[in-house]
Chain A
Amino acid sequence: MLFNSFEFFIFLPIVFVLYWFVLNKKLSIQNVLLLVASYVFYGWWDIRFLSLIMLSTILDYYVGLKIHSTEEPKKRKHWLWLSMGFNLGLLGFFKYFNFFVDSWISAFNSIGIEMDPFALNIILPVGISFYTFQTMSYSLDIHKRKLEPTKNFVAFATFVAFFPQLVAGPIERASNLLPQFLQRRKFNNKLAVDGLRQMLWGLFKKVIIADNCAPYVNDIFADYSTQSSGTLILGVIIFAFQIYADFSGYTDIAIGTARLFGFDFKRNFNFPYFSRNISEFWKRWHISLSSWLNDYVFTPLAINFRNYKKQGIFAALFLTFLISGLWHGAGWTFIIWGGLHGLYYIPVIFSKKRFTSISTNKSGSNKQEFAFSDIPKMILTFLMVCLTYIFFRAASVADALGYIKIIFTEIPYWPSGVPYKSILFIIILMTAEWFQRGKEHGLQFNEDTKVPLALRWTIYISLLLLILVFSGQQQQFIYFQF
């Protein structure tokens, strides 16, 4: 089920009513309802997908208890490896099997050994990259003794399958989300109202901005060799906003929906295009994934390489980014995308300046103290990120290189077919987010806000009408393919 679909529009109120008015008496019943609803939501795509998530759930529930039950480091490790092996194996097979086979065959072909192409017709289960990472973090945290496993199977199963974040994140940590499933939720008016606002904002970003940018971007990338340099540059910039609006929009809907049910998810995007350097960017973009990779990949690697000084840190970082690229997709374009981001850290890590003043903004994570003098840095960072998007979006490495070649060898004149409507909406988006940069999301209005009630309601109604009127052809969320 998609968030921007008729079915979800019917599904959500039904679950909401049942949850708060009918099946509210006991915690266990609350959880069972959410579990059933989540499986319905997920099974809507393909009922076969359910078997995989159920399998992963049962295994990790069992493994969690097993790790905790013994003190022997070797046994604990073995149980952990079982969980990791299973989840990574699942991911590896469904997502990467064909890619590995193709790459293997290409490699052999390039040295002259012919092999028959071989590909299985594997359907990628929606959300598998997300829920496997979520359950792995559970096993890993138990192994690190950061967390105790739960004996409440229903709570755990619901934590794994919870429909707002099942399909495209945020990737929630057990230490943050699982306790919320172990406590009966009480209705919180402020949280729920803010949740609705956030959902509205997310829909606006997805339906009005992302879906309307898509046709323009698709045409350019499909036919890049006939486009002018200026058009290609505009194309990737529009794509940057498309993917931001699409993904952060989805996240807003997910977080907002969770709030309706009394759950508090962690923030996943923090206005990333206002970043002043690449390090800040990765603290603001897809925060749940970067922090996952940071905690479970980068940190262990860097600790093991710590005696190799800056080179060690760089190696750990670069490897982590390659893995991030691979997570995003089974293709060399994604791996190169990741690698480029890793390379962008070279000046950051190897500069004479201490890392701290570059990597952190001392103003604190909640107060976005940006100055106008930061704008050149923001633009530079944005353009660096756009360059990587060429690889992210292109159909193949060859296409990406061809695209880049044109940009850097031709003089950029005014682009053709400029999508003025999309650009207008993007400007509205960035302006609104700039003014709201201290808030959790673009449409958050606290009590102390200076925006009067009439104006707020006009904004809500206008946004809703705009969403209905401009609902273009339903484009799939970009991150569903991950």
Chain B
Amino acid sequence: MSNYITEFETLFRDVLENEDIVLTPETIASDIEEWDSINHIYLVVEIEKHFGIKFSSSEILQWQNVGEMIDSVKAHKEN
């Protein structure tokens, strides 16, 4: 998990242009000012590009927090 968290943090900081972002598995969108709905899409695209995976729409829509996003990535990577 901790590897993924660090990778995610790098991605978030880059896409959201904020070097101070710190992520935990419980972090949700409203915790981070720049993480609005449009930037969410940019984030998803970057995550898919970075990890070389493709999420399904329903997966993406069911994410409740950063932890669940990471779980999805893991599930795709480990298949």
Contact present between A and B (CB < 8 A): yes
Could you tell me which A residues sit within 8 Å of B by CB distance?
73, 144-146, 283, 294-295, 298-300, 302-304, 306-307, 309, 312-313, 317, 349, 354-357, 359-360, 362, 364-365
Residues of B contacting A312 in the complex (Cβ-Cβ under 8 angstroms): 41
Check if B60 is an interface residue, CB within 8 A of chain A: yes
Asked if A303 contacts B42 (CB within 8 A), the reply is no
**A300-B57, A302-B38, A303-B41 are known contacts. Are A357 and B17 too (CB-CB below 8 A)?**
yes
Within 8 Å CB of B33, what residues of A? 360, 362, 364-365
The answer to whether B17 touches A354 (Cβ under 8 A) is yes
Residues of chain A within 8 A (CB-CB) of B41 are: 299, 302-303, 306, 312-313
CB distance from A287 to the nearest CB of B (A): 13
Contact with A along B13-56 (1 / 0, CB 8 A): 00011100000000000000110111111101100000000000
Q: Closest CB of chain B to A31's CB: distance in Å?
A: 28
Within 8 Å CB of A354, what residues of B?
17
Q: Chain B: which residue is nearest A73 at the CB level?
A: B58
Nearest-neighbor residue (CB-CB) of A305 within chain B: B41
Interface centre among B34, B37, B38, B41 (most CB of A within 10 A): B38
Task: Select one of A73, A298, A304, A356 contacting B37, CB under 8 A.
Answer: A298
Are the CB atoms of B62 and A145 closer together than 8 Å? yes
Residues of B within 8 A of A359 (CB): 36, 38-39
Give 7 new A-B contacts, CB below 8 A, not counting A299-B40, A300-B61: A294-B37, A299-B37, A299-B41, A303-B60, A307-B45, A355-B42, A360-B34
B64 at the interface (CB under 8 A from A): yes
Q: Please, which residues of chain A bring their CB within 8 A of the CB of B38?
A: 302, 313, 317, 349, 355, 359
The chain A residue with its CB closest to the CB of B60 is: A303
CB of A355 within 8 A of CB of B57, answer no
Q: Once bound together, how far apart are the Cα atoms of A273 and B59, in whole Å?
A: 37
- How many angstroms between the C-alpha atoms of A365 and B41 in the bound complex? 21
Q: How far, in Å, is B3 (CB) from chain A's closest CB? A: 25
- A365 and B35 alpha carbons, distance in the complex (Å): 13
A299 to B40, CA, bound (A): 9
**In the complex, are the beta carbons of A146 and B40 less than 8 A apart?**
no
Q: Mark B58-79, 1 if CB is under 8 A from A, else 0.
A: 1011101000000000000000
